[in-house]
Every structure is written in structure tokens, then in C-alpha cells.
Amino acid sequence: MENRGRQKIAVVAVGGNSLIQDKHHPQVKFQWDAVRQTATHVAAMIAEGWNVILTHGNGPQVGFILRRNELAAPHVHQTPLDVIGADTQGSIGYMLQQALDNEFRRRDVYRRAITIVTQVLVDRNDPAFQHPTKPIGGFLEKEAAELFAAEGWPVVEDAGRGWRRVVASPQPLEIVEKNAIKHAAETGWVVIAVGGGGIPVVENKHGELRGIAAVIDKDRASSLLASDVGAELFLISTAVEKVALDFNTPNQRWLDRMTVREAKRYLAEGQFAPGSMKPKIEAIIRYLENGGRQALITNPENIVRALHGETGTLVLPD
């Protein structure tokens, strides 16, 4: 790629709805449809003059691979969770690369996308490892769950529906490949990175990196990356056009903008649901308190309108 000079960098985090829009149609051919649709919106943003670093979720895909492991267990070896994370970074990155490159050709825009398989350093002493809470994979009978437990997988009984493996969700400390990601973005590449929150790694006693069974929150890792590369914008693309207060109640109110102070107040009031909007707001607060300039939340089809101030929820420093 030619050096395009310093352009505005945006970290854009796309949620699972950008990859699997209908839980009843998870097959790869339908994932392709969703990815190609997402690519049109990201390409439109790039045509507006942004250099984009794209991050993405991988939860459903990790679950599918774990299920294949379970079904194939009598015949082939199992795959460690860190390697599954790498697998999904490669496969989803490939899909996004191809969809974006095809969209650039259609628009006659000289840009290209690359995927950087990304490791994220976590602390092996993070309290999350003592209390794994993130369920992964399918439901198991008790006997199968006991086999996984004997192999070192923590398991829990899940609301009477069966047993599931759980893993830790530690805090991301460092994006190992951050310098390569930043350099590529600054020289004009559209970079796909930190897929699924990154591959969790820890340092051993020799200072060497080793994978560990965990799942890092995608929005937390994207927030850290946005700070590391000095992004002018952190955009979270999700299922709703704007953030709402009193969501799904008769008093629901859409928010056009809010400050960090207001966001913290809404969090304290319990306005944002855990596992849904709460981690997104927390990630944005962290980015803005680390020197970030602005953040946006909207859905994929409204990205460009949100950039023009026509929709979405804009979050600004105090």
C-alpha cells in the first residue's frame, strides 16, 4: 500500500449481529450474506476519509467449533480454546477481507484489507480465573461434564438445562501486536484485528507468551486498542440505532449524546443491561478517560449517518 499520510483513525467494533443476523440461519452461506452487508457500511465510512481498524466478535463461531470437538471426540484430538480463537480470527478475518476488498473494487477505491492474528496479554493472577463465569459450548449431560472437569475444564449446571463449561473473562492488559496494527493503519491498510477480544496469553517464568483458556470481552479489548493507536474515534456497531434509557419500557428515551459523567450516572442507576449495553458503555468510558476524543454507538446501516451527526449516540469527554 502507498503511504497516504496521517489520516483519522477509527476503531470500529462490530457485534455478532454483523456476522450472524438470524440465529436460525447460522450456516456459513448466511454468514457471508451478513458480512458482505457489513462491508458495504464500513467501506462507505472509509470513503468518507477514515482509516479503519475493524474488530469483531466470535462467540457463536467458537461455540460451533467446541460442539464439533464434542461430536468428534472419539475420533480426533480436541482443540485448545486459544487455538480456537486463532482459528476464528483467521476465518472471520478472511471473510471480512474478501468482502471489503470486493466492495473497494466495486467503488473503484484503491484500498485493501488485511487481518492480523492478535494476542492480548492478561494477568494469570486476574481474579476472573478464580471465578470463571463465561459459559461456552453446548449443553452437556452430567457424565460428559465430569469428563471435561477431569481434563481441567470448570463446569457449571446451567438453570436446569444441563451442564456447560465456563471460562474466565480477564481484563486485557496489552495488545501484543499493537505497533504492527497501528503502522498498518497509518499507511492505509484497513486492518482487521483483536478478533473475539484477542487470543488470551500470559507470560511464563521465562517471559515467554503462552495461550490460556479464557475469553476476553471484545469491547474492552477494542477500547484498549483504540487508546493504544491514538484513534480519533471509537465506534461500536451493534443491534440498535441509538442508546436508550428505560429500554423496552413505556418511558423509553433515545439518547443523541452524553458525556462520560452522564454515562457513569446512568450506569450507577442500572440503565444498561449486563452482557448487552453495559460493557459497551464501560469500554467507551475507559477509552475517553484515556484521552480518546469521541465515541459513537449505532447499528451498521446507520454508520455514515451517525458520522454526520444525523443519528446514533455520541459520547464525549467531560
Q: Which is catalytic among the residues 63, 134, 162, 188?
A: 134
Separation between Cα atoms, residue 129 and residue 123, nearest integer Å = 9
Q: Which is catalytic among the residues 85, 93, 198, 218?
A: 218
Separation between Cα atoms, residue 170 and residue 225, nearest integer Å = 16
Known catalytic residue at 291 = no
Q: Which is catalytic among the residues 280, 292, 299, 312?
A: 280
Known catalytic residue at 134 = yes
Q: Which set of grid coordinates corresponds to residue 224?
A: 484498549
Q: Which set of grid coordinates corresponds to residue 304?
A: 455514515
Q: Which set of grid coordinates corresponds to residue 138?
A: 453446548
Separation between Cα atoms, residue 7 and residue 49, nearest integer Å = 7
Pairing label, strands 209-211, 199-203: antiparallel
Cβ-contact 68, 24 below 8 angstroms: no
Known catalytic residue at 280 = yes
Q: Which is catalytic among the residues 15, 16, 93, 195?
A: 16
Known catalytic residue at 90 = no
Query: Got the DSSP string for the chain?
Result: --------EEEEEE-GGGT-S-TT--SHHHHHHHHHHHHHHHHHHHHTT-EEEEEE--HHHHHHHHHHHHHHTTTS----HHHHHHHHHHHHHHHHHHHHHHHHHHHT----EEE---EEE--TT-GGGGS--EEEEEEE-HHHHHHHHHTT--EEE-TTS-EEEEEB-PPP-EETTHHHHHHHHHTT-EEE-SGGG-EEEEE-TTS-EEE-SB---HHHHHHHHHHHTT-SEEEEE-SSSSEEESTTSTT-EEESEEEHHHHHHHHHTT-S-TTTTHHHHHHHHHHHHTT---EEEE-GGGHHHHHTTSSSEEEE--
Known catalytic residue at 205 = no
Catalytically annotated residues: 16-17, 134, 218, 280
